[in-house]
Protein backbone atom coordinates (compact mmCIF):
# COMPACT_ATOMS: atom_id res chain seq x y z
CA UNK A 1 0.00 0.00 0.00
CA UNK A 2 1.33 3.43 -0.95
CA UNK A 3 2.48 5.70 1.87
CA UNK A 4 0.21 8.70 2.43
CA UNK A 5 2.00 12.08 2.36
CA UNK A 6 0.28 15.30 3.44
CA UNK A 7 1.69 18.36 1.65
CA UNK A 8 0.95 21.65 3.44
CA UNK A 9 1.79 24.91 1.65
CA UNK A 10 -0.15 28.12 1.04
CA UNK A 11 1.20 28.35 -2.53
CA UNK A 12 -0.89 26.33 -4.98
CA UNK A 13 2.00 25.94 -7.42
CA UNK A 14 4.12 24.23 -4.75
CA UNK A 15 1.27 21.88 -3.82
CA UNK A 16 0.67 21.03 -7.48
CA UNK A 17 4.37 20.42 -8.18
CA UNK A 18 4.81 18.14 -5.18
CA UNK A 19 1.60 16.23 -5.86
CA UNK A 20 2.66 15.54 -9.43
CA UNK A 21 6.23 14.54 -8.61
CA UNK A 22 5.58 12.52 -5.45
CA UNK A 23 2.63 10.73 -7.06
CA UNK A 24 4.97 9.63 -9.84
CA UNK A 25 7.32 8.35 -7.11
CA UNK A 26 4.56 6.08 -5.82
CA UNK A 27 3.20 8.10 -2.89
CA UNK A 28 -0.47 8.84 -2.17
CA UNK A 29 -0.73 12.62 -1.75
CA UNK A 30 -3.10 14.75 0.31
CA UNK A 31 -3.05 18.57 0.20
CA UNK A 32 -3.72 21.47 2.58
CA UNK A 33 -3.25 25.22 2.16
CA UNK A 34 -2.72 26.27 5.78
CA UNK A 35 -2.14 24.84 9.24
CA UNK A 36 -5.80 24.72 10.24
CA UNK A 37 -6.77 22.77 7.14
CA UNK A 38 -3.72 20.55 7.65
CA UNK A 39 -4.86 19.63 11.15
CA UNK A 40 -8.29 18.65 9.84
CA UNK A 41 -6.85 16.57 6.99
CA UNK A 42 -4.20 14.94 9.19
CA UNK A 43 -6.77 13.91 11.79
CA UNK A 44 -9.00 12.41 9.10
CA UNK A 45 -6.39 10.82 6.82
CA UNK A 46 -3.67 9.88 9.35
CA UNK A 47 -0.77 10.39 6.91
CA UNK A 48 2.53 8.54 7.16
CA UNK A 49 4.48 11.82 6.79
CA UNK A 50 3.81 15.57 6.56
CA UNK A 51 5.70 18.02 4.32
CA UNK A 52 5.10 21.41 5.92
CA UNK A 53 5.64 25.05 5.01
CA UNK A 54 6.25 27.41 7.94
CA UNK A 55 4.85 30.79 6.90
CA UNK A 56 1.14 30.32 6.22
CA UNK A 57 -2.13 32.14 7.00
CA UNK A 58 -4.58 30.99 9.68
CA UNK A 59 -2.02 28.78 11.46
CA UNK A 60 1.74 28.76 10.91
CA UNK A 61 3.78 25.62 10.44
CA UNK A 62 5.31 26.15 13.88
CA UNK A 63 1.86 26.19 15.49
CA UNK A 64 0.82 23.11 13.50
CA UNK A 65 3.80 21.17 14.87
CA UNK A 66 3.08 22.34 18.43
CA UNK A 67 -0.47 21.00 18.22
CA UNK A 68 -0.01 17.93 16.04
CA UNK A 69 3.07 16.57 17.81
CA UNK A 70 0.93 16.18 20.94
CA UNK A 71 -1.58 14.07 19.02
CA UNK A 72 0.56 11.82 16.85
CA UNK A 73 4.14 10.72 16.27
CA UNK A 74 3.86 11.35 12.53
CA UNK A 75 7.20 12.48 11.05
CA UNK A 76 7.36 16.03 9.67
CA UNK A 77 9.68 17.51 7.03
CA UNK A 78 9.70 21.31 7.00
CA UNK A 79 9.85 22.89 3.53
CA UNK A 80 10.35 26.64 3.73
CA UNK A 81 12.02 29.73 2.29
CA UNK A 82 13.34 30.61 5.76
CA UNK A 83 17.07 29.87 5.68
CA UNK A 84 18.22 31.28 9.03
CA UNK A 85 19.86 28.68 11.27
CA UNK A 86 17.75 29.78 14.23
CA UNK A 87 14.57 28.98 12.25
CA UNK A 88 15.92 25.52 11.53
CA UNK A 89 16.89 24.91 15.15
CA UNK A 90 13.43 26.02 16.31
CA UNK A 91 11.67 23.77 13.81
CA UNK A 92 13.74 20.75 14.80
CA UNK A 93 13.40 21.61 18.48
CA UNK A 94 9.60 21.56 18.12
CA UNK A 95 9.80 18.06 16.68
CA UNK A 96 10.39 18.24 12.91
CA UNK A 97 12.44 15.38 11.46
CA UNK A 98 14.13 17.30 8.65
CA UNK A 99 14.35 20.83 7.24
CA UNK A 100 14.52 21.63 3.50
CA UNK A 101 14.87 25.18 2.17
CA UNK A 102 13.33 26.67 -0.98
CA UNK A 103 14.19 26.62 -3.81
CA UNK A 104 14.42 22.85 -3.58
CA UNK A 105 14.96 19.80 -5.74
CA UNK A 106 11.87 17.55 -5.86
CA UNK A 107 14.20 14.59 -6.37
CA UNK A 108 16.17 15.43 -3.21
CA UNK A 109 12.97 15.99 -1.24
CA UNK A 110 11.65 12.59 -2.35
CA UNK A 111 14.93 11.02 -1.18
CA UNK A 112 14.58 12.67 2.21
CA UNK A 113 10.99 11.45 2.48
CA UNK A 114 12.16 7.88 1.86
CA UNK A 115 14.97 8.27 4.41
CA UNK A 116 12.60 9.42 7.14
CA UNK A 117 10.05 6.70 6.33
CA UNK A 118 12.76 3.99 6.37
CA UNK A 119 13.84 5.16 9.80
CA UNK A 120 10.26 4.97 11.07
CA UNK A 121 9.83 1.47 9.62
CA UNK A 122 13.12 0.30 11.14
CA UNK A 123 11.97 1.46 14.56
CA UNK A 124 8.93 -0.80 14.22
CA UNK A 125 11.21 -3.81 14.81
CA UNK A 126 12.83 -2.39 17.95
CA UNK A 127 11.57 -3.04 21.52
CA UNK A 128 8.53 -0.99 22.44
CA UNK A 129 9.29 -0.73 26.15
CA UNK A 130 12.49 0.62 27.69
CA UNK A 131 13.14 1.02 31.43
CA UNK A 132 16.21 2.51 33.08
CA UNK A 133 16.27 3.70 36.68
CA UNK A 134 13.13 5.75 37.23
CA UNK A 135 12.61 6.40 33.49
CA UNK A 136 10.00 4.47 31.51
CA UNK A 137 9.62 4.82 27.72
CA UNK A 138 6.89 3.23 25.60
CA UNK A 139 7.81 3.75 21.96
CA UNK A 140 4.56 2.38 20.51
CA UNK A 141 2.41 4.58 22.73
CA UNK A 142 4.86 7.51 22.58
CA UNK A 143 4.74 7.69 26.38
CA UNK A 144 7.54 8.74 28.70
CA UNK A 145 7.37 8.71 32.49
CA UNK A 146 9.91 9.83 35.07
CA UNK A 147 9.32 8.60 38.61
CA UNK A 148 5.88 7.44 37.54
CA UNK A 149 4.88 10.89 36.25
CA UNK A 150 4.16 11.46 32.52
CA UNK A 151 6.61 13.73 30.70
CA UNK A 152 5.65 15.54 27.49
CA UNK A 153 8.46 15.19 24.92
CA UNK A 154 8.60 16.41 21.33
CA UNK A 155 9.09 13.66 18.70
CA UNK A 156 12.76 14.59 18.34
CA UNK A 157 13.34 14.61 22.11
CA UNK A 158 11.56 11.26 22.36
CA UNK A 159 13.70 9.70 19.61
CA UNK A 160 16.87 11.10 21.15
CA UNK A 161 16.02 9.66 24.57
CA UNK A 162 15.05 6.32 23.02
CA UNK A 163 18.37 6.12 21.17
CA UNK A 164 20.39 6.86 24.30
CA UNK A 165 18.34 4.55 26.56
CA UNK A 166 18.64 1.64 24.12
CA UNK A 167 22.43 1.67 24.53
CA UNK A 168 23.26 2.77 28.11
CA UNK A 169 26.90 3.61 28.64
CA UNK A 170 27.63 4.04 24.95
CA UNK A 171 28.96 7.43 23.89
CA UNK A 172 27.14 8.88 20.86
CA UNK A 173 28.78 11.72 18.96
CA UNK A 174 26.63 14.69 17.97
CA UNK A 175 26.81 13.63 14.34
CA UNK A 176 25.61 10.12 15.19
CA UNK A 177 22.66 11.51 17.11
CA UNK A 178 21.90 14.00 14.34
CA UNK A 179 21.82 11.16 11.82
CA UNK A 180 19.46 9.19 14.09
CA UNK A 181 17.10 12.18 14.18
CA UNK A 182 17.36 13.25 10.56
CA UNK A 183 18.75 10.26 8.67
CA UNK A 184 21.47 10.49 6.06
CA UNK A 185 20.13 13.83 4.78
CA UNK A 186 21.38 15.83 7.75
CA UNK A 187 23.07 19.14 7.00
CA UNK A 188 25.56 19.25 9.85
CA UNK A 189 23.77 21.48 12.34
CA UNK A 190 25.34 19.85 15.39
CA UNK A 191 24.04 22.67 17.60
CA UNK A 192 20.58 21.15 17.09
CA UNK A 193 21.58 18.18 19.27
CA UNK A 194 22.75 20.48 22.06
CA UNK A 195 19.36 22.21 22.01
CA UNK A 196 17.50 18.90 22.24
CA UNK A 197 19.78 17.62 25.02
CA UNK A 198 19.31 20.82 27.03
CA UNK A 199 15.52 20.61 26.74
CA UNK A 200 15.51 16.89 27.48
CA UNK A 201 17.55 17.40 30.64
CA UNK A 202 15.09 20.04 31.84
CA UNK A 203 12.31 17.47 31.51
CA UNK A 204 13.95 14.33 32.96
CA UNK A 205 16.85 15.39 35.23
CA UNK A 206 16.27 16.24 38.91
CA UNK A 207 18.86 19.01 38.50
CA UNK A 208 19.38 19.94 34.82
CA UNK A 209 22.38 22.12 35.75
CA UNK A 210 24.16 19.01 37.12
CA UNK A 211 22.90 16.20 34.85
CA UNK A 212 23.41 12.64 36.02
CA UNK A 213 21.34 10.70 33.49
CA UNK A 214 22.38 12.21 30.15
CA UNK A 215 26.06 12.91 30.61
CA UNK A 216 28.31 15.06 28.46
CA UNK A 217 31.52 13.32 27.45
CA UNK A 218 33.68 16.29 26.54
CA UNK A 219 35.18 16.09 23.10
CA UNK A 220 33.13 12.98 22.29
CA UNK A 221 29.38 13.44 22.74
CA UNK A 222 26.68 12.18 25.11
CA UNK A 223 25.83 8.96 26.95
CA UNK A 224 22.97 7.63 29.01
CA UNK A 225 23.86 6.51 32.52
CA UNK A 226 21.49 4.28 34.48
CA UNK A 227 20.76 5.68 37.93
CA UNK A 228 19.96 3.38 40.87
Give mean pLDDT, residues 87-101.
Answer: 79
Q: Yes or no: say if 57 and 35 are a contact pair by the CB < 8 Å rule.
A: no
Is residue 61 pLDDT above 80, yes or no? yes
Instruction: Render pLDDT for 63-73 as a digit per residue (tens, 0 to 9).
Output: 898 888 878 87
Is residue 13 pLDDT above 60, yes or no? yes
User: Which CATH architecture is the domain 129-224 placed in?
Assistant: Orthogonal Bundle (1.10)
- What is the C-alpha separation between 200 and 197, in angstroms, rounded? 5
| Residue boundaries of the structural domains of the chain | 4-123, 129-224
For the chain, give the percent of residues with pLDDT over 70. Answer: 92
Q: What b-and-e string marks burial along 162-177, b requiring 16 or more CB atoms within 10 Å of the CB?
A: bbbbeeeeeebebeeb
Residues sharing a CB contact under 8 Å with residue 169, sequence separation 6 or more, in sequence order: 223, 224, 225, 226
Given the candidates 2.40.10.10, 3.40.50.2300, 3.30.499.10, 3.40.980.10, the CATH classification of the domain at 4-123 is: 3.40.50.2300
- What is the C-alpha separation between 191 and 147, in angstroms, rounded? 29
CB hemisphere CA count around 215 (13 angstroms) = 14
Residues sharing a CB contact under 8 Å with residue 95, sequence separation 6 or more, in sequence order: 65, 69, 76, 154, 155, 156, 157
Give mean pLDDT, residues 177-198.
Answer: 69
Instruction: Render pLDDT for 131-153 as a digit per residue (tens, 0 to 9).
Output: 988 999 998 788 999 999 999 98
pLDDT of residue 123: 62
Amino acid sequence: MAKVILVVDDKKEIRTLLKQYLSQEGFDIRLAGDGQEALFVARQEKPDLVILDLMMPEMSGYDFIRVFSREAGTPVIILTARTDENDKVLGLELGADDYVTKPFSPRELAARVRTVLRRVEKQAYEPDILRAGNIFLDRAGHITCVGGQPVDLTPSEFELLRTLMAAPGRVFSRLELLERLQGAAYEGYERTIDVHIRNLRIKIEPDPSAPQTIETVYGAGYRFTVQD
